Amino acid sequence: MSGLTIVTSSAQMSDIVARWKSQGESVAFVPTMGSLHEGHGALIQRATELADRVVVSIFVNPLQFGKGEDFDSYPRDREADEAFVRNSAVDVLFMPSVDEVYPSGQETTVSAGPVGERFEGASRPGHFDGVLTVVKRLFAIVSPDFALFGRKDAQQLFLVESMVRSEGSPITIVPIDTVRAPDGLALSSRNTNLSADERARARVIPEALNEAEATPTLSAALAAVRQRLHATPGVVIDYVAGVDPDTYRELDEGSLASEATLILAVRVGNTRLIDNRRLHFPQ
Ligand code: PAF
Residues 135 and 237 occupy one common structural domain: no
Backbone φ and ψ of 79, nearest 5° = -65, -45
How is residue 119 annotated by DSSP? T
Confidence of residue 133 (pLDDT cuts 50, 70, 90): very high
Ligand 1 pocket member 176 (CB < 6 A):
no
The percentage of the chain sitting over the pLDDT mark of 70, rounded to a whole number, equals: 99
The domain that holds 262 is classified in CATH as: 3.30.1300.10
| 92 close to 55: Cβ distance less than 8 angstroms | yes
Indicate which residue's Cα is closest to atom 9 of ligand 1: 131
Instruction: Measure 60 CA to ligand 1 centroid, in angstroms.
Output: 8
Ligand 1 pocket member 188 (CB < 6 A):
no
Residues 198 and 171 occupy one common structural domain: no
Ligand 1 pocket member 63 (CB < 6 A):
no
The whole domain housing 133 covers 5-176
Give the chain's mean pLDDT.
96
Determine the pLDDT at residue 104: 87
Out of 176, 200, 226, a domain closes at 176
| 117 close to 225: Cβ distance less than 8 angstroms | no
- Residue-wise pLDDT tens digits, 238-280: 999 999 999 999 999 999 999 999 999 999 999 999 999 999 9
Residues 159 and 231 occupy one common structural domain: no
Indicate which residue's Cα is closest to atom 6 of ligand 1: 32
Mean pLDDT of 79-89: 96
Instruction: Measure 31 CA to ligand 1 centroid, in angstroms.
Output: 6
Domain count, the chain: 2
Indicate which residue's Cα is closest to atom 5 of ligand 1: 131
Domain membership of residue 25 (yes or no) is: yes
Query: C-alpha distances in angstroms, 4 versus 54, 85, 86, 91, 263?
Result: 10, 8, 6, 5, 37
Put simply, whether the predicted model's pTM sits higher than 0.85 gets the answer yes
Given the residues 40, 127, 230, 280, the one annotated as active site: 40
Determine the pLDDT at residue 115: 97
Asked whether the predicted pLDDT for residue 2 surpasses 60, the reply is: no
Residues 6+ apart with CB under 8 A from 193: 73, 75, 269, 270, 271
Out of 176, 203, 234, a domain closes at 176
Residues 6+ apart with CB under 8 A from 197: 234
37 is catalytic: no
- Residue-wise pLDDT tens digits, 209-229: 999 999 999 999 999 999 999
